Structure 1
Amino acid sequence: MPLLPRIHLFEFLDQPWLPKLLRRGEVDYLHVVLDRLRSYDSVAPQLAELLRTAGTDRVVDLCSGTGGPWRTLLPALQAVHGRAEVVLTDLHPTPEQELPPGAHYRDTPVDATRIPEELTGVRTLFDGLHHFPPEQARALLGDAAARKVPIAAFELTQRSLPYILSQILLVVPLVWGFTPLIRPMRWWRLALTYLVPILPLLILWDGVVSSLRTYAPADLEKLTTGLGSDGYRWSSGVHRAKGMAITYLIGQPRA
């Protein structure tokens, strides 16, 4: 399917000035969607293999938001790698209290381009790589290759016209439909969703921009060309499960 040109517009969630209430409203919506759809559970075997070959049980998740897919993904991962654990990190931490056993949220900011030395383990990004322009994305990936650390990035969004048109048609109704499932119920969330629909429009904008920013497999090949050529390898492609297409990039030291 022909791709649209990659355009790096701004996302509200990336902005430090975004009011806390609006940030919370958007990440809570993403939280409940991931929990209900369990979109990433199918990548658990890939992550288990990375942990096994790296000789570690720890995942260091970058750009975690309120926990990303880990409330359902970690139990799925532990089913195939029983000792798996995950440290969640974000530049704007939003510690989540309802995490499964084995998950810990680091409550101090972590810049994904400057990962502290003590955070060791297999690195992951779920719907996070598109937040970085090419030069920063290449630096992030290059750091993993230079340190010989495995890294896996996954994206649900697609940079195609049909996908973006479906977002424009469906995102606002989906926000209206999923909002009653968010707990705890807050008056401000209802007001900003149904009375003055700021949250649906905010989520729609960020969703469309995320799609326009998404790196396709061909882009990922260009990003990783020459990175870690001395004993580090990259693979990318599209993983299909539950009717969804997940673009992936995996980097790891050669056996």
Structure 2
Amino acid sequence: MRLLPRLHLFEFLDQSWLPELLRRGEVDYLHVVLDKTRPYDGMATQLAALLRMAGTNRIVDLCSGTGGPWRTLLPVLRKLNGEAEVVLTDLHPTPGLELPEGAHYRDTPVDATRIPEELTGVRTLFEALHHFRPRQARAVLEDAVARRVPIAAFELTQRSLPYVLVQLLLVVPLVWGFTPLIRPRRWWRWLFTYLVPIIPLLVLWDGVVSSFRTYAPEDLEELTEGLNANGYSWHLGVHRARGMAITYLIGQPGE
């Protein structure tokens, strides 16, 4: 049941005019949270199964931003599939990141709705589907169906009143608590986190907006309605682990 309407408001990280220091501050916080909480490790089994089904060892990650969960997720996946590799892509790529063995960043732009033919493999999106309006999100899924490749989208945020209320109460204290774990330590990070708390407020705004943008399971059913050409099938659900709930959508071609 959708208790909150889906609102496609703006996120600061989507804005080209956001000062680089503030962008870096928000991104570094998100990095350390993913690295410490490792919410997506439990998805490795599903990804390994998709690789086996597709007969490939390659994952093409869409809208990768600055790396997403792959620093911790790929080592877990490679315990199940020692040859697994990930190609990170983005419309505005940021190569040169510190990535685990088996991962590399494509340095040319990739539109998630029109993937270059040479980029073959299982497609993934982590915390990315909500950045697309419904027509664009459906185009991302349609391209996978047309090319008959598996695709998996994962969202940690939820569009619910309790989740938004928890964010309003906890996000700022969490930013304050995780910031000392971020390396390297920078004077500007401490300034804009504690003395002038711009970074915590940016994280809070973007987190709440992400929640309002998130597609609920019912929305995902609507997005995939009619996308079943030649036996292509969809499976969605919610994975619960470590006190977190991850909504996932997995599409795969028929035999």
Please say whether Structure 1 and Structure 2 have the same fold, judged by a TM-score greater than 0.5: yes
How far, CA to CA, are the matches of 1:254 and 1:9 in structure 2? 37
Matches within 5 A, 1:2-151: 3-95=3-95, 97-151=97-151
Give CA-to-partner distance per residue, 1:64-108, whole Å, 9 cap, x none: 122111111001111111110001112232335321110101223
Residues 97-106 or 43-52, more deviating:
97-106
How far, CA to CA, are the matches of 1:228 and 1:22 in structure 2? 43
Give CA-to-partner distance per residue, 1:195-230, whole Å, 9 cap, x none: 211111111000000000111111101000011332
Contact 2:60 2:119 in 1 (8 A): yes
Q: Secondary structure at the match of 1:95?
A: coil
Q: Secondary structure at the match of 1:237?
A: strand
The 1:197/1:96 distance shift into structure 2, 3 A limit, reads farther
How far, CA to CA, are the matches of 1:138 and 1:160 in structure 2? 22
Contact 1:146 1:228 in 2 (8 A): no
Q: Secondary structure at the match of 1:206?
A: helix
Q: 2:180 — aligned with what?
A: 180
- For structure 2, the residue ranges without an aligned partner over 5 or more in a row are none
Q: CA deviation at 1:117?
A: 1.9
Q: Which letter does structure 1 place at the counterpart of 2:238?
A: V
Question: What is the total number of aligned residue pairs between the two structures?
Answer: 255
Name segments (4+ residues, structure 1) moved above 4 Å. none
How far, CA to CA, are the matches of 1:246 and 1:111 in structure 2? 25
Q: 1:220 — aligned with what?
A: 220
Contact 1:27 1:65 in 2 (8 A): no
Contact 2:7 2:212 in 1 (8 A): yes
Residues 150-159 or 103-112, more deviating:
103-112
RMSD between aligned residues: 1.3
Contact 1:58 1:87 in 2 (8 A): yes
Identity of aligned residues (%): 79
Q: CA deviation at 1:17?
A: 2.3
Q: CA deviation at 1:120?
A: 1.2
Q: Which letter does structure 2 place at the counterpart of 1:205?
A: W
Give CA-to-partner distance per residue, 1:38-75, whole Å, 9 cap, x none: 10000000000000000100001111122111111001
Q: CA deviation at 1:10?
A: 0.8
Q: What's the TM-score once normalised by structure 2's chain length?
A: 0.96
Q: Which letter does structure 1 place at the counterpart of 2:172?
A: V
Q: Secondary structure at the match of 1:18?
A: coil
Q: Which letter does structure 1 place at the counterpart of 2:128?
A: G
Q: CA deviation at 1:7?
A: 0.8
Q: CA deviation at 1:236?
A: 0.7
Q: CA deviation at 1:2?
A: 5.2
Q: Which letter does structure 2 place at the counterpart of 1:62?
A: L
Q: Secondary structure at the match of 2:139?
A: helix
Q: What's the TM-score once normalised by structure 1's chain length?
A: 0.96
